[in-house]
């Protein structure tokens, strides 16, 4: 009886069972409604951009592993998230060939050169987007109105631009609420902003759906709630002070919260576990730092939007925060 | 007096308890195996020295091996029988160590021989000696000689005597049953402990999932004893001495220090009961209560099993699944995997948990650390296991010890339990601690 060889393992012999792949899968679930609304708002163009970004990221991850003789890491789901996130940060009629390059560089330069998942200093999707912004400043700021009547039937010429050719801008293009404010001092209704009835990057317009996705992840304990709370809170407070000082020249705090990529960035990008500090106090400092930078760049910087750079700088700061903020060890 | 407290220690985890399978089952006597395999080192310290010879007939309870110095305890015969062989026996970790093979007399009445009783009126020194002579060690799993733990160092004093009835390991219910079935032994044990520690008050700490045991004990506190029963919230690893002291007294035991540094002494409740049961009769430990449970076991329960009973005999008797995959001695959080079934029940074995193939849920896939911080939020002593794990991989053991408090880690396993990347953090730390200790002693010997 009991002739079988026993397995030996080191204690503890049980695990909570929430693996990296499970966390990543749930982040994808949380992003799906955001992506679905984006396709509903911007139509077939948005769908093509998102799919291209996804394919580029997953394919790059697969091929880089293959060429460097490493086991495939596609199954952990992190490349899917990078692909989705990058797609969601691009304008709806962004040329597909540029999207593809963004996806390849996000994985290759944002993640692989650092050593893969867990070693990336910056959020890979934002690295990809930063490169695209530097390389194609016009295309990445060419906006498109939401809810056009023919959005499910007509593919924009810009989207289908031949690789390495300059995109043709269609007759219609729309300013985002942030650029309208920055360059024309026009403000948009907060309700329209929150619901996503405005122009902007593919996935950044519906603050409500982004927040719901975040709440889902927080409820499942797969996201540190302190990060979005610290970022949004500090943006609200600082812009509230400025608005109180002079509502003529400064935007309202509600406008600041619901416009641009702040919601998407605060909920889905700044919360990337790898690039954020590890302690509770650390992430609060990190969040406040990002929030303050967003306000500074938006109001005093040359760009209408500053979320991307704010988060990338936050990523750069986070190892230093971890070095400085160390909780007191029991009994010391 | 029964008190509820919401005080607890920082962080910690909540693994599924699985205690309902056995916590209603009274302790039953286990049959005597035909052959007892008795290792001489079942405790922390030096192995006991055999004082019988091969072929000698021994009576149950008779001393077979004497303590080798202060940090050691004697070993008593768990059954009446004949010493077949004095040779190396299998011990945990796949090695062999000195021991005794004792063949049980099949038709013996198994009467226990008793030694000289240690009365409560004896001097504290005589009681400590009696505890050592009874072979008593921490029955919670640590197996540290109890008489050493109870010795109050020169210049220190004990104010709080803490009786540890937390039993925070999943699956295990031995302490729970002992509290329900041996209240008198526990209070007698407390009387002995009060004599040697001179404590002002006694707190029995029990987690809220054993409220019946807390009520049972609180109703039976003798009028002349300064005992309080305190119920604390369920959280792992509250049974760890330092965590329990923080939960009950709100004080932290200094890093590298002992409970006595905050004027406390903590003793496991089953150990306390054993002191109360054995000392008045001058007996030694021959058996202990063990929870046999886990999805791979048919007749789960709490059994009074002779020390030295081989695992194979135990599992055959309780009907273990044929496809058993892993057998843990102790609970699933801090217990040790048995490498084979020739190992025997020892004094520190609080439970045998058996998992079949389908119950071993751990995935073998290890991902890189994604710095999610789950381990940081789990560590009861606020270490940074993520950082320590990365340092361990680059073999920066000195940095781990000097800057990141590695040596404070008591290997509770909370970090590995929550790790989504399945990183065997505790295993890394165990290895690292061993290396740091070796380096230190190498330096000391230069």
DSSP H/E element including B282: none
Residue B93 pLDDT greater than 80, yes or no: no
The alpha carbon of residue B270 is apart from the nearest alpha carbon of chain A, in Å, by 23
Among the partner residues B246, B386, B417, nearest to A15 by beta-carbon distance: B417
Nearest-angstrom CA–CA distance, A158 and A137: 15
DSSP H/E element including A296: helix A280-300
Question: For the residues of A100-120, what is the DSSP string, one character each?
Answer: HHHHHHHHHHHTGGGTSTTT-
Among the partner residues A9, A119, A331, nearest to B253 by beta-carbon distance: A331
Identify from B241, B370, B417, B432 which residue to disrupt to test chain A contact, counting A C-beta atoms within 10 A and taking the largest count. B370
Q: What is the pLDDT of residues A214-257, one digit of tens each?
A: 999 999 999 999 999 999 999 999 999 999 999 888 889 988 88
Is the CB of residue A122 less than 8 Å from the CB of residue A110?
yes
How much is the pLDDT for A38? 92
CA-atom Rg of chain A in angstroms: 21
User: Are B416 and A12 a contacting pair at CB < 8 A?
Assistant: yes
Q: Which whole number is the average pLDDT over A4-29?
A: 88
> Helix, strand or coil for residue B395?
coil
Lowest mean pLDDT among A22-26, A149-153, A245-249, B295-299: A149-153
The interface pTM score, or ipTM, of the predicted complex is 0.89
First to last CA, chain B: 56
> Helix, strand or coil for residue B270?
helix
How many beta-carbon pairs below 8 A join chains A and B? 172
- Mean pLDDT across chain B, nearest whole number? 92
**What does DSSP assign to residue B13?**
B
Residue B6 pLDDT greater than 80, yes or no: no
Kindly list the domain boundaries of chain A, sorted by start residue.
19-174, 177-322
Residue of B nearest to A12 (CA): B333
The alpha carbon of residue A70 is apart from the nearest alpha carbon of chain B, in Å, by 13
The alpha carbon of residue B78 is apart from the nearest alpha carbon of chain A, in Å, by 25
User: Are B411 and A11 a contacting pair at CB < 8 A?
Assistant: yes
Residue B105 pLDDT greater than 70, yes or no: yes
User: Are A14 and B254 a contacting pair at CB < 8 A?
Assistant: no
Is the CB of residue A87 less than 8 Å from the CB of residue A202?
yes
User: Are B421 and A118 a contacting pair at CB < 8 A?
Assistant: yes
How much is the pLDDT for A108? 95
Residue A98 pLDDT greater than 60, yes or no: yes
Residues from chain A contacting residue B348 (CB–CB below 8 Å): none
Q: What is the pLDDT of residues A40-54, one digit of tens each?
A: 999 999 999 999 999
Q: In chain B, which among 360-379 make CB contacts under 8 A with chain A?
A: 360-363, 365, 367-373, 376-377
Nearest-angstrom CA–CA distance, A224 and A217: 9
How much is the pLDDT for A173? 59
- Calculate what percentage of chain A has a pLDDT beyond 70: 95
Residues from chain B contacting residue A323 (CB–CB below 8 Å): none
The alpha carbon of residue A28 is apart from the nearest alpha carbon of chain B, in Å, by 17
Residues from chain B contacting residue A320 (CB–CB below 8 Å): none
How much is the pLDDT for A8? 82
How much is the pLDDT for B258? 94
Axis-axis angle for helices B425-445, B385-393 (nearest 10): 70
User: Are B339 and A8 a contacting pair at CB < 8 A?
Assistant: yes
Nearest-angstrom CA–CA distance, A60 and A49: 16
Residue of B nearest to A118 (CA): B370
Cα→Cα distances A290→A17, A262, A306, A317, Å: 32, 10, 10, 10
How much is the pLDDT for A169? 64
Q: Is B168 annotated as a binding residue?
A: no
SS (H, E, C) B176-204: HHHHHHCHHHHHHHHHHHHHHHCCCEEEE
Residue A205 pLDDT greater than 90, yes or no: no
Cα→Cα distances B155→A235, B152, B160, B198, B262, Å: 58, 8, 16, 14, 13
Strand ranges (DSSP E) for B313-356? Answer: 324-329, 336-337, 351-356
Is the CB of residue B213 less than 8 Å from the CB of residue B270?
no
The confidence band for B442, taking pLDDT boundaries of 50, 70 and 90, is: confident
Residue extent(s) of CATH 3.40.50.11540 domains in chain B: 1-33+114-361
CATH superfamily, domain at B1-33+114-361: NADH-ubiquinone oxidoreductase 51kDa subunit (3.40.50.11540)
Q: What is the pLDDT of residues B48-84, one digit of tens each?
A: 999 999 999 999 999 999 999 999 999 999 999 999 9
Q: In chain B, which among 382-441 make CB contacts under 8 A with chain A?
A: 382-384, 386-387, 405, 408, 411, 413-414, 416-422, 424, 426-427, 430
Count of residues making up chain B: 446
Among the partner residues A12, A117, A330, nearest to B333 by beta-carbon distance: A12
Axis-axis angle for helices B183-197, B174-181 (nearest 10): 100
How much is the pLDDT for A99? 96
> Helix, strand or coil for residue B103?
strand
Residue A84 pLDDT greater than 70, yes or no: yes
Q: What is the pLDDT of residues A107-161, one digit of tens each?
A: 999 999 998 898 999 999 999 999 999 999 888 888 778 888 888 888 887 778 7
Residue A199 pLDDT greater than 80, yes or no: no
Residues from chain A contacting residue B387 (CB–CB below 8 Å): 278, 322
Q: What is the pLDDT of residues B396-437, one digit of tens each?
A: 999 999 999 999 999 999 999 999 999 999 999 999 999 999
Q: What is the pLDDT of residues B319-373, one digit of tens each?
A: 887 778 889 999 999 999 998 889 999 999 999 999 887 777 656 688 999 999 9
Q: Which whole number is the average pLDDT over A102-110?
A: 96
Among the partner residues A11, A224, A322, nearest to B426 by beta-carbon distance: A11
Residues of B243-257 as b/e, b for ≥16 C-beta within 10 angstroms? bbbbbbbebbbeeee
CA-atom Rg of chain B in angstroms: 22
Among the partner residues A4, A14, A274, nearest to B15 by beta-carbon distance: A14
The confidence band for B208, taking pLDDT boundaries of 50, 70 and 90, is: very high
Residue of A nearest to B377 (CA): A279
Among the partner residues A18, A278, A330, nearest to B252 by beta-carbon distance: A330
Q: Which whole number is the average pLDDT over A22-36?
A: 95
User: Are B422 and A19 a contacting pair at CB < 8 A?
Assistant: yes
Establish if B337 touches chain A: CB-CB under 8 angstroms: yes
Among the partner residues A19, A279, A280, nearest to B363 by beta-carbon distance: A19
Is the CB of residue A278 less than 8 Å from the CB of residue A325?
no
Nearest-angstrom CA–CA distance, A128 and A87: 10
**Which residue numbers of A have CB closer than 8 Å to B's CBs?**
1-2, 4, 6-23, 76, 115-119, 224, 273-274, 276, 278-280, 283, 322, 326-332
The alpha carbon of residue A315 is apart from the nearest alpha carbon of chain B, in Å, by 13
Identify from B17, B382, B408 which residue to disrupt to test chain A contact, counting A C-beta atoms within 10 A and taking the largest count. B382
The confidence band for A1, taking pLDDT boundaries of 50, 70 and 90, is: low
Residues from chain B contacting residue A1 (CB–CB below 8 Å): 312, 316, 322
Q: Which residues contact A282 (CB under 8 A, 6 or more apart)?
A: A276, A318, A321, A322, A325
Q: What is the pLDDT of residues A152-192, one digit of tens each?
A: 888 887 778 778 777 766 555 566 777 777 777 777 777 77
- Calculate what percentage of chain B has a pLDDT beyond 90: 84
């Amino acid at each position: 009886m009991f002739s079988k060889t026993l397995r030996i393992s080191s204690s503890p012999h049980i695990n909570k069972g929430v693996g990296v792949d499970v966390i990543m899968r749930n982040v994808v679930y949380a992003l799906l409604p955001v992506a679905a609304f984006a396709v509903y708002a911007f139509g077939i163009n948005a769908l093509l951009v998102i799919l291209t970004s996804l394919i580029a990221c997953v394919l790059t991850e697969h091929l880089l592993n293959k060429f460097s003789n490493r086991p495939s890491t596609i199954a952990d789901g992190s490349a899917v998230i990078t692909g989705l996130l990058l797609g969601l940060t691009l304008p709806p009629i962004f040329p597909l060939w540029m999207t593809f390059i963004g996806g390849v560089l996000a994985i290759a330069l944002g993640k692989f050169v650092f050593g893969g998942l867990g070693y990336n200093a910056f959020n890979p999707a934002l690295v990809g987007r930063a490169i695209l912004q530097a390389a194609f400043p016009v295309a990445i700021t060419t906006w498109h109105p939401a809810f056009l009547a023919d959005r499910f039937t007509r593919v924009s010429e810009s989207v289908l631009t031949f690789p390495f050719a300059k995109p043709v801008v269609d007759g219609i293009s729309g300013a985002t609420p942030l650029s309208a404010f920055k360059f024309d001092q026009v403000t948009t209704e907060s309700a329209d902003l929150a619901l996503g009835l405005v122009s902007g990057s593919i996935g950044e317009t519906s603050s409500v759906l982004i927040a719901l996705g975040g709440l889902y992840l927080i409820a499942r304990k797969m996201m540190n709630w302190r990060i979005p709370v610290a970022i949004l809170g500090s943006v609200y407070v600082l812009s509230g002070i400025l608005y109180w000082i002079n509502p003529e020249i400064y935007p309202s705090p509600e406008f600041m919260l619901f416009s641009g990529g702040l919601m998407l960035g605060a909920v889905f990008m700044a919360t990337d576990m790898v690039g954020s500090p590890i302690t509770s106090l650390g992430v609060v400092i990190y969040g406040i730092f990002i929030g303050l930078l967003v306000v500074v760049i938006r109001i005093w910087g040359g760009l209408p939007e500053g979320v991307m750079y704010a988060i990338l700088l936050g990523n750069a700061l986070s190892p230093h925060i971890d070095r400085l903020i160390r909780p007191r060890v029991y009994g010391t | 007096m029964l008190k509820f407290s919401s005080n607890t220690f920082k962080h910690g985890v909540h693994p599924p308890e699985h205690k309902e399978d056995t916590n209603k089952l009274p302790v039953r006597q286990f049959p005597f195996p035909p052959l007892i395999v008795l290792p001489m080192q079942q405790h922390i310290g030096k192995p006991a020295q055999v004082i019988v010879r091969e072929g000698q007939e021994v009576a149950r309870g008779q001393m077979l091996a004497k303590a080798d110095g202060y940090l050691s305890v004697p070993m008593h015969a768990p059954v009446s029988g004949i010493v077949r062989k004095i040779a190396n026996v299998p011990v945990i970790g796949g090695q062999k160590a000195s021991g005794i093979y004792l063949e049980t007399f099949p038709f013996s009445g198994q009467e226990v021989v008793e030694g000289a009783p240690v009365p409560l009126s004896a001097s504290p020194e005589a009681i400590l000696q009696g505890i050592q002579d009874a072979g008593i060690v921490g029955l919670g799993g640590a197996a540290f000689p109890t008489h050493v733990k109870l010795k109050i160092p020169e210049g220190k004093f004990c104010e709080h005597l803490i009786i540890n009835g937390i039993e925070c390991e999943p699956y295990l219910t031995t302490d729970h049953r002992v509290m329900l079935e041996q209240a008198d032994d526990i209070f007698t044990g407390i009387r002995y402990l009060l004599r040697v520690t001179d404590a002002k008050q006694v707190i029995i700490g029990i987690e809220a999932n054993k409220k019946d045991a807390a009520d049972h004990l609180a109703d039976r506190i003798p009028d002349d004893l300064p005992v309080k029963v305190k119920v604390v919230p369920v959280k792992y690893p509250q049974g760890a001495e330092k965590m329990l002291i923080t939960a009950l007294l709100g004080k932290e035991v200094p890093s590298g220090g002992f409970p006595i540094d905050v004027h406390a002494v903590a003793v496991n409740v089953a150990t306390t009961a054993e002191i109360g049961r054995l000392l008045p009769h001058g007996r030694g430990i021959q058996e202990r209560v063990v929870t046999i449970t886990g999805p791979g076991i048919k007749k789960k329960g709490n059994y009074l099993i002779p020390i030295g009973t081989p695992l194979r005999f135990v599992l055959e008797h309780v009907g273990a699944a044929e496809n058993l995959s892993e057998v843990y001695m102790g609970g699933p959080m801090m217990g040790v995997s048995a490498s084979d079934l020739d190992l025997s029940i020892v004094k520190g074995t609080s439970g045998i948990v058996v998992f079949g193939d389908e119950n071993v849920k751990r995935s073998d896939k290890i991902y890189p650390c994604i710095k999610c911080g789950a381990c940081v939020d789990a560590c009861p002593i606020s270490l940074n296991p993520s950082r320590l794990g990365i340092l361990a991989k680059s073999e920066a053991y000195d940095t781990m010890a000097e800057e990141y408090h590695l040596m404070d880690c008591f290997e509770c396993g909370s970090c590995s339990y929550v790790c989504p990347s399945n990183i065997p953090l505790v295993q890394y730390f165990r290895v690292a601690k061993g290396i740091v200790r070796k380096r230190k002693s190498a330096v000391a010997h230069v």
